[in-house]
A and B are shown apart, each in its own frame.
Chain A
Amino acid sequence: MATFKVNGIEQNLDVEPEMPLLWALRDELGMTGTKFGCGIASCGACTVHVNGRAVRSCTTPVSAVEGQDITTIEGLAGMAAGANTSAPSLTAVQQAWIDHQVPQCGYCQSGMIMAASALLASNPNPSDAEIDSNITNVCRCGSYPRVRKAIRSLATA
């Protein structure tokens, strides 16, 4: 039995300990906001937060997150708002993604937003070099210039 919290809710899953968190989220819990892109932690489409840290879920076995707090794209705003139910339904990062019209096909953007959110939480004013070294996700549509603009708009805010 694998036990961990997803977006604040405890989950007990009867799955193999080596099942990657990505597939536990998608196929077992039906939470499809987290995406499968490469399966080898190269592209970042599957990025979630484990205790607030950006982690690539496609190579993270559920055994490695036993008892940990997982946040996915679906819970990002809710987890940020905590008990404050009057908080907006989007985080500042998500809103910046809309303001700068960042996504195109959008498939990589869950992972991109999770990576950017984790970066900004630990480093509110990242330099270009810090953005480059922390956001290593692949976007085939080439949203990178807008990802950078959106992050910078938050950093200078």
Chain B
Amino acid sequence: MKKISRRRFLITSALVGGGVLIGYSATRPSRHRLANTELAQGGEHYVTSLLKIEADNTVTVYVPHSEMGQGVHTSLSMMAADELDADWELVNIEQAPAIDLFANGDIIEGFASEFGVPSFLEGLISVSAIKVAELMNMQITGGSSSVRFTGEFGMRTAGAAARQMLIECAATRWGVAADECTTQLSHVHHNASGRSLAYGELAAEAALLEPPEDPVLKDPSQFNIMGKAISRVDIPAKVDGSAIYGLDAKPAGMLYAAIRFAPVFGTKLVSVDAGDALNRRGIKRIVELEDSVAVVADSYWRAKEALKLVSSVFETSANDNTSSADIYAGFERSLADENGSKVIEEGDTEAAMELAADVIEGNYRVPYLAHAAMEPMNCTVHIHDDKVDVWTSTQDALGIKARVAKIAGIAEDDATFHHSYLGGGFGRRLPFNWNVIDHATLIAKEFDVPVKTVLSREDDMQQDYYRPAVASNFKAAFDAEGNVLAWHNRFTGPVQTPGASHIPYAIINQSIRVVDGDTHVPIAAWRSVDHSQQTFFTESFVDEIAHRAGKNPYQFRMELLQQHPRHRKVLEVAAEAAGYGQNLPEGHALGIAVQESFGSIVAEIAEVSIGADNQPVVHKVTCAIDCGWAVNPDTVEAQVESGIIFGLTAAMYGEITIENGRVAQNNFPDYEMVRMATSPEIEVHIVESGEALGGLGEPATPPIAAAVTNAIYILTGQRVRELPIKNHDFSRVNPLAQV
């Protein structure tokens, strides 16, 4: 793999009081012509990953990513501190402020230009050149990218560079060769003479040096901090109520807004009758926006109660009678009528189908899904004295700051973003999902005090940007011996994640095409993006092929994965740990699935039975993940547990349906979640292949749906081709002989 050149990014500057700040200059390399053109107004600016060493020997790592429970503050700091050979006890971790100096778009874009655009951003980058410029001003957290990009290319390099500079200063002061010096626990040592200097004593001099052009990173055998299960720094505040989320912002004099959106997406407000709302206690004003009406009061509850008294008329639209059934019928028409766009065309699938001794078909479908982050969407904005302050939980602080400033009509330099923890993100808090941010700003424009706009859980569920509903039809051709000859797949788009529908299996003839799946329902990235739907489809249909071929689904996969040793390894580790092929408790079966996404390869094996209510019970999920190597193994395990449960909720219960053009679901009772009672035991095995770091926030989500439904097939003989599982009746149990 090509190495990204590090030297062009490094900069240093002296700190007042005698310290050093290591960071990155983002002068664009000449081959990034498009970005350069779009960035012409900007000269050099500074990007990501700064670490600061002060005279008192403390190290501060500025993390330019949002902490939403993935442990990124801890993991990224571990990477910088380890390369620096810092004493972890002396390391402070700070959320980098939302200023250009800490944009991380450059790192991502720089990486993208050399290795290909990270798939979760591809849609954003390719849409228009303008969006490339917008990307430059992001501080984005998504695509399971923080540790892989900012950590690997930013934090480690900054730490290693700083360490080399500190050694150089010490060597000069002592009049010895640099290679006679060693570092440990925030000190440089010259063992031959027994001399030592603390980093803090060298920092002021180090600030005067040119940073090394290509600092040498540690070999894993030299790691002191990376690879250890270090306790997360954000956890103590999360057990005593002191952690502050966007919804907890409380600037002085704040008012609260409750909002009602046009229920049918894309329609506008026609008229409002305030009724008695304005006569109620604490009500300040009713604000009419293009697509919504808001009540502003001195308490959120008062605003919400008063909003119930406000009647509103929204315009009618062509979608007023649209239902999920209509949307699915449209998908079927596209699949029947369109040739679609090529995803993969290899060999001659058509000829193989004609020559085949047998062809099987499977038509699959999944519904829209809401993100349903625990912290309902909210945004607090204060416009005053030609300045604007914003508080919100976001996966892109810089982007949100720019958006709010633009809508408020205030220069970006006069905008201040106030960071907080995120009560879940999962893609909902990425840029371009602008509702609540835009609305909060427009509402706040009517006041000179801060206004916090809060979506109720019902608003949050009905005004999301959803995981797309997708239909996917398959055919497979077999020869007379039962060998699979061809893979034919047509699915509805749009493609948000190129590659998600690819299969790793050695099938010579493949035809995969995407047809139009656009509807009026707004969509966005949802944890693991297209992988969550596509893996359910492909890993289910591969299972169908295996059973049709009379093969054990595990053996079948292993045979067709000869060219993918990493896939084979995670399957092998998971199968052995799960006791695959051994005796199971009566009425239990194992289902298997594997998927590569965001640079990590994950195999999951679900142990399932059918419960007394004829619904499946998932007893245990055994997972093996090859994420290259583990920066913080405990965080890896936590993310895998999290990804599995998130995907299991979707598989078992997740369903947003459209009735009369609008979302039918309201709150958790009709958008159910896995809870303690339905949460399986989860066993995680980390396979350290030593390959490039893979992502962690998302890759455990994709395989679980198919792992569970593949087990259900063994238990019942019923192939679940439509999610969620709860909609199926498993009362006619007709178990297969386990092959």
In the complex, residue of chain B having the shortest beta-carbon distance to the beta carbon of A74? B241
Contact B244 A32 (CB under 8 A): yes
Complex Cα spacing A72 to B439, Å? 32
Which 3 pairs, one residue from A and one from B, show the smallest C-beta to C-beta distance? A33-B241, A142-B645, A104-B69
Among B71, B674, B679, the most chain A Cβ lie within 10 Å of the Cβ of B679
The DSSP consensus for interface residues of chain A is loop
Complex Cα spacing A23 to B557, Å? 54
In the complex, residue of chain A having the shortest beta-carbon distance to the beta carbon of B247? A36
Complex Cα spacing A137 to B677, Å? 10
Size band of the B side of the interface? 35 or more
Q: Does A56 contact B (CB under 8 A)?
A: no
Residue-wise, chain B 518-542 has the 8 Å CB interface mask toward A (1 for contact) of: 0000000000000000000000000
Contact A43 B301 (CB under 8 A): no
Q: Output the least CB separation between B112 and chain A (Å).
A: 27
Contact A38 B70 (CB under 8 A): no
Q: Does B232 contact A (CB under 8 A)?
A: yes
**Given known A37-B376, A145-B679, contact A109–B238 (CB-CB < 8 A):** yes
Q: Does B667 contact A (CB under 8 A)?
A: yes
Contact B243 A132 (CB under 8 A): no
Contact B374 A105 (CB under 8 A): yes
Contact A98 B239 (CB under 8 A): yes
- List residues of chain A with CB within 8 A of the CB of B241: 31-34, 72-74, 110
Contact A142 B644 (CB under 8 A): yes
Size band of the A side of the interface? 35 or more
- List residues of chain A with CB within 8 A of the CB of B68: 104-105
Give the contacting residue for A105; candidates B69, B248, B457, B667; CB below 8 A.
B69
A-B CB pair tally, cutoff 8 Å: 177
Q: Output the least CB separation between B562 and chain A (Å).
A: 34
Q: Output the least CB separation between B615 and chain A (Å).
A: 16
Q: Does B299 contact A (CB under 8 A)?
A: yes
Give the contacting residue for B240; candidates A39, A73, A102; CB below 8 A.
A73
Q: Does A63 contact B (CB under 8 A)?
A: no
Residue-wise, chain B 635-646 has the 8 Å CB interface mask toward A (1 for contact) of: 000100111111
Complex Cα spacing A89 to B241, Å? 13
**Given known A37-B374, A144-B674, contact A27–B256 (CB-CB < 8 A):** yes
Q: Output the least CB separation between A65 and chain B (Å).
A: 15
Give the contacting residue for A33; candidates B242, B423, B676; CB below 8 A.
B242
Residue-wise, chain A 3-24 has the 8 Å CB interface mask toward B (1 for contact) of: 0000000000000100110010
- List residues of chain B with CB within 8 A of the CB of A98: 231, 235-236, 239
In the complex, residue of chain A having the shortest beta-carbon distance to the beta carbon of B682? A145
Chain B positions 216-243 with a Cβ under 8 Å from a chain A Cβ:
231-232, 234-243
Contact A143 B642 (CB under 8 A): yes
- List residues of chain A with CB within 8 A of the CB of B247: 32, 35-36
Complex Cα spacing A136 to B68, Å? 22
Q: Does B668 contact A (CB under 8 A)?
A: yes
Contact A141 B675 (CB under 8 A): no
Q: Does A106 contact B (CB under 8 A)?
A: yes
Complex Cα spacing A141 to B527, Å? 11
Residue-wise, chain A 136-157 has the 8 Å CB interface mask toward B (1 for contact) of: 1111111111111000000000
Complex Cα spacing A74 to B682, Å? 31
Contact A23 B299 (CB under 8 A): yes
In the complex, residue of chain A having the shortest beta-carbon distance to the beta carbon of B373? A140
Chain A positions 78-107 with a Cβ under 8 Å from a chain B Cβ:
89-90, 94, 97-98, 101-107
- List residues of chain B with CB within 8 A of the CB of A77: 240
Complex Cα spacing A27 to B634, Å? 36
Complex Cα spacing A91 to B301, Å? 32
Complex Cα spacing A35 to B458, Å? 16
A selection of 12 A-B contacts at a CB cut-off of 8 Å is A20-B301, A32-B247, A35-B374, A40-B669, A43-B668, A97-B238, A101-B232, A105-B424, A140-B424, A141-B424, A143-B638, A143-B642
Contact B301 A27 (CB under 8 A): yes
In the complex, residue of chain B having the shortest beta-carbon distance to the beta carbon of A37? B374
Contact B421 A90 (CB under 8 A): no
Q: Does B308 contact A (CB under 8 A)?
A: no
Q: Does A135 contact B (CB under 8 A)?
A: yes
- List residues of chain A with CB within 8 A of the CB of B669: 40, 42
Give the contacting residue for B646; candidates A36, A45, A140; CB below 8 A.
A140
Q: Output the least CB separation between B566 and chain A (Å).
A: 25
Q: Output the least CB separation between A29 and chain B (Å).
A: 11
**Given known A106-B421, A143-B642, contact A138–B673 (CB-CB < 8 A):** yes
Give the contacting residue for A35; candidates B69, B281, B375; CB below 8 A.
B375
Chain B positions 368-409 with a Cβ under 8 Å from a chain A Cβ:
372-376
**Given known A97-B239, A101-B638, A142-B642, contact A106–B69 (CB-CB < 8 A):** yes
Q: Output the least CB separation between A117 and chain B (Å).
A: 11
Q: Does B426 contact A (CB under 8 A)?
A: yes
